[in-house]
């Protein structure tokens, strides 16, 4: 295990650490609380060298464009979102993760259900008909496969839980991984790991592998349906765990005092995750007609019951009313979403065109 010298500063506001390969500029914006502060005491630190690193394949502008496009596409995003959401605080950060590779073996058993045709005689015995019945039979099997999973090697306040959650589900692209070189860290923040390999495997790794093994095994289950699925998973000893650095873009922004975020995998292979504010007025305008349709539908059901002892007229009118209002509600929904999307798409176009000039 080799190590390199890095520089570290602490945010006076939240205590969050910032790490750098080179010198810090005289003032720094905290990645975690976004306080701008003057850099005073810089500490020298030893960092364990990661075995592999996935370099950034996208730049700040790519990420910004993806986020703006998300704002334009989201059906219920407010139309003034571009004016409110500030993008000065985009951060590119490397997260320390453990890569576990190996083989798993999964033994499973369950009851598999098959729909079968059965010929039954009518009660008077004069005719026969086909009837579908569901029959269960026991089934077992084994699944063996290679796995490669990554788990965050950090636990604590400085990485937001949503980022760790997103990173967990990430596919590790073995071919894109490079041997570690300091040059990949230039201009980016990075976080030092604080968990050991065994702890991370026991707490997160084994569960991820169990989940993958279960999903793979379920794909092998034959028949039309199943119940009482059970499986036991074992792994070989190859999974020891290697420290790797994975790149992420993230931005946290405020909209009317609500905190929102967007995260993207820095290699650009996985999609965005995050939250956008909702225009409640638009939601109401859309739901108004859907709600009315719902009430009329209840009325229509109630009046249908009236047929039993009354006339056809009222139920017919009620059902016609329901279908017309439901149709209009859907039309209204599409119209509102389309109109508002257009407003944001025009703004997005202006922003993107403006950026190119």
How does strand 225-235 pair with strand 189-190? unpaired
Between 28 and 242, name the residue whose CB sits nearer to Zn ion.
28
Bridge partners for 138 per DSSP: 111
Shortest distance in whole angstroms from residue 226 CB to Zn ion = 51
- Are the C-beta atoms of 30 and 9 separated by less than 8 Å? no
Shortest distance in whole angstroms from residue 158 CB to Zn ion = 9
Between 11 and 206, name the residue whose CB sits nearer to Zn ion.
11
Angle at CA of residue 30, ends 24 and 35, nearest 5° = 120
Give CA–CA dist 208/202, Å, rounded.
10
Angle at CA of residue 173, ends 170 and 177, nearest 5° = 120
Task: Give, for 282, the enclosing helix (H) or strand (E).
Answer: helix 280-306
Between 31 and 286, name the residue whose CB sits nearer to Zn ion.
31
Shortest distance in whole angstroms from residue 86 CB to Zn ion = 17
Of 245, 215, 205, nearest in space to 6 by CA: 245
Between 13 and 196, name the residue whose CB sits nearer to Zn ion.
13
Shortest distance in whole angstroms from residue 15 CB to Zn ion = 7
Phi then psi for 208, rounded to 5 degrees? -65, -45
CA 187 to chain centre: 27
Place of tokens 């269960």: 136
Q: Residues in the site for Zn ion, rule: CB under 5 A?
A: 11, 13-14, 16, 30, 32-33, 35
Between 8 and 332, name the residue whose CB sits nearer to Zn ion.
8
Shortest distance in whole angstroms from residue 16 CB to Zn ion = 4
Shortest distance in whole angstroms from residue 156 CB to Zn ion = 14
Between 24 and 226, name the residue whose CB sits nearer to Zn ion.
24
Angle at CA of residue 302, ends 296 and 305, nearest 5° = 140
């Amino acid at each position: 295990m080799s190590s390199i010298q890095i520089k570290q500063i602490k945010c006076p506001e939240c205590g969050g650490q910032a790490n750098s390969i080179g010198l810090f500029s005289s003032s720094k914006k905290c990645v975690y609380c976004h306080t701008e502060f003057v850099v005073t005491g810089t500490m020298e630190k030893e960092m364990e060298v990661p075995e592999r690193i996935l370099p950034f394949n996208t730049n700040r502008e790519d990420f910004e464009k993806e986020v703006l496009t998300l704002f334009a596409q989201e059906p219920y995003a407010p139309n003034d979102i571009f004016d409110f959401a500030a993008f000065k605080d985009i951060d590119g950060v490397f997260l320390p993760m453990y890569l576990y590779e190996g083989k798993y073996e999964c033994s499973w058993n369950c009851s598999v259900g098959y729909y079968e045709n059965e010929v039954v005689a009518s009660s008077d015995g004069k005719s026969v008909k086909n009837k579908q019945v569901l029959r269960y039979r026991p089934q077992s099997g084994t699944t063996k496969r290679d796995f490669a999973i990554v788990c965050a090697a950090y636990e604590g306040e400085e990485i937001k839980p949503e980022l760790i959650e997103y990173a967990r589900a990430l596919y590790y692209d073995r071919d894109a991984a490079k041997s570690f070189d300091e040059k990949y860290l230039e201009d980016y923040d990075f976080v030092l790991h604080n968990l050991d390999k065994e702890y991370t495997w026991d707490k997160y790794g084994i569960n991820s592998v169990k989940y993958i093994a279960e999903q793979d095994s379920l794909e092998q289950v034959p028949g039309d349906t199943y119940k009482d699925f059970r499986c036991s998973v074992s792994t070989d000893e190859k999974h020891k765990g290697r420290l790797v650095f994975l790149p992420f873009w993230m931005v946290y922004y405020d909209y009317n005092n609500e905190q929102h975020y967007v995260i993207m995998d820095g290699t650009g292979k996985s999609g965005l995750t995050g939250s956008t504010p909702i225009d409640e007025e638009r939601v109401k305008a859309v739901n108004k007609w859907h709600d009315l349709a719902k009430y009329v539908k209840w009325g229509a059901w109630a009046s249908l019951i009236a047929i039993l002892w009354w006339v056809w007229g009222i139920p017919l009118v009620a059902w016609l009313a329901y279908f017309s209002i439901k149709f209009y509600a859907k039309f209204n929904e599409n119209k509102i979403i389309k109109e508002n999307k257009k407003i944001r798409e025009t703004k997005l176009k202006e922003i993107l065109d403006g950026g190119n000039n």
